[in-house]
Chains A and B, each alone.
Chain A
Amino acid sequence: MIQIKGLSFLYNDSKEPALNNINLQIGEGEFVGIVGPTGAGKSTLALCLNGVIPHFLHGEFYGEVKVDGKDTVENDCARIAYSVGSVFQDPEAQIVSTRVEDEIAFGLENLNIPRIEIAARIKESLEMTGISDLRDYSTTQLSGGQKQRVAIASAIALRPKILVLDEPTSELDPKGSLDIFNTLQKLNKEYSITIVVIEQKIQLLTEYCSRLVVMEKGSVLLDGPTRNVLANQEILQKIGVNSSPVTRLAYMLKKEGLYQGEFPINVEEAYLVVSKVLSEKRR
């Protein structure tokens, strides 16, 4: 679904490349989390997926990015928008309409979708994101989490195969953040939309994503199934990427020589790990 080969990008006026020889293949229906310290190139990578780079932000672009079979250099942003939907940090910054329904219609109108079709798409995308009841709401009276779900609904109204989100929960409280990830999970499982999400909240990433990509200084440092990536605790801690408390506990037990095995990603799994540690010693 996404093919990135030898991608490097250097912003104009910049000396260091923001991306340095990125190679990444993401298949249809994957739910991929991207994590890394500030300045790792995560946002730049997201902008390469929706065509903003190289079409609007200029610089030296090397390599190849294909989304849904479309080369992002040869296709303009409007055409890429049919394949890749984008959602950013601050929902306020992307909402332009006063009513939820109009907000979702906005992108569709821009792409000259017929009126009847637009009505159907609004209904569909509200249902998919679980906010059908908000259809007639004013966008100003929504909570942060609701606004962000409206932004997601607007993005998927174009029926993209890929959804790219850059820190979609950074302005939200824990409940709002959880709502977003539950929505993403639904879109991923029920509609097979490929999800690529940049996120600092590591507990959410580890519980929802099947694959983690760790970036540092413009490169991909680690890439694999979430658990395998979390197994690299020394590297993660060295570059300043946090892990869930339960994952860190398993790592501490490992260092004490008390545990060998997979890293837990939630409290239930950690319970099994600790139970095992206790019972093995007892025998």
Chain B
Amino acid sequence: MIRLNNLCYQYKNGNKVLKNLNIHIKSGEFVAIIGQNGAGKTTLLKQLNGLLKPSQGTINVCGLDAAKTKTSILAKKIGFLFQNPDHQIFCATVYEEIAFGLKNLGISHEDIEGLVNRAAQRVGIDQYLKTDPFSLSKGQRQRVALASVLAMETDVLVLDEPTTGQDYSEGLEIMEIVKDLNKRGKTVIIVTHDMELVAQYAKRVIVLQKGSVLEDGPTEMVLGREESLALSNLQPPQAYLLAKKFHKQGFFKDVYRVEEMLDEIISYLDGEENACNG
């Protein structure tokens, strides 16, 4: 679905931001890209939508050479949701906002209506189609922005810090929608600093450090790489740190979510009980 081969990028001032990236993301994956500010995460995303072209190496997005493809063509393949919904919202009604990208693609009115309704329903804002998006709450506006992206029916969805600036339940709503989309086959790439969110949703984690890939693997593996995470000023989730404290005593396997920690505790206690009864 997405393949980066020896991709390098340097800004005109000579600053090398991306160094020799080799990343292959398959259809249906849920990938989190993490790393501290300045690690090159945003620059990498701009390669995916064609806003920046690689200095060296190649990038292939859904079968297209992103370096040679117009951004408008790439936009049909890969949808972007940014941190601040207000940077991407500008129409007078929610309907127009969701329809905007579709109109640009030259889709017929009837088809647009169907696509807009479907996207609005998917994110639960269909009752607001005639409303001015700026009269909605920030969490609702983020869902409008998400609906605009979904209406394009791209195979890949990229989210840059989608929960930042939102309160906990708003962030959770967005993530649950994204999780469901992924279940139905959409490829999801998310950039975030929130390790609890990574543990909860991502299946694969890529750690970027100074423009290079420091770690790339299943979430369970990467979140346990404390040294690598520390290099990026990140910490494993609390559940992992807690379970690890018991490893010396021989208790508990590695866990990443508190729900798993609870299961570990309960199964340990059950085991003790059985041992006593036996």
Instruction: Give the B-binding residues of A (Cβ under 8 A).
Output: 36-39, 143-145, 170-176, 200, 202-203, 240-242, 244-246, 248-249, 252-253, 256, 258, 267, 270-271, 274, 277-278, 281-282
Contacts and interface: CB of A to CB of B under 8 A. Distances in A.
A40 to B, nearest CB: 8
A175 B36 contact: yes
Interface stretch (B110-118, B123-131, B219-227, B262-270): B262-270
B242 A267 contact: yes
A37 B237 contact: no
Contacts of B167: 36-38, 200, 240-241
Interface residues of B, number: 39
Interface in B212-253: 233-235, 237-239, 241-242, 245-246, 251
Nearest 5 pairs of A and B residues by beta carbon: A240-B169, A175-B233, A242-B168, A245-B238, A249-B258
Contact of B238 (A143, A175, A267): A267
Contacts of B36: 173-175
B155 interface: no
A19 B37 CA distance: 36
Given A249-B242, A249-B262, A170 B165 contact: yes
Contact of B242 (A39, A202, A274): A274
A38 B139 contact: yes
B165 A274 contact: no
Nearest to A172: B37
A256 B268 CA distance: 14
B137 A38 contact: yes
Contact of B269 (A202, A248, A281): A281
A203 B197 CA distance: 13
Contact of B261 (A170, A203, A249): A249
B200 to A, nearest CB: 10
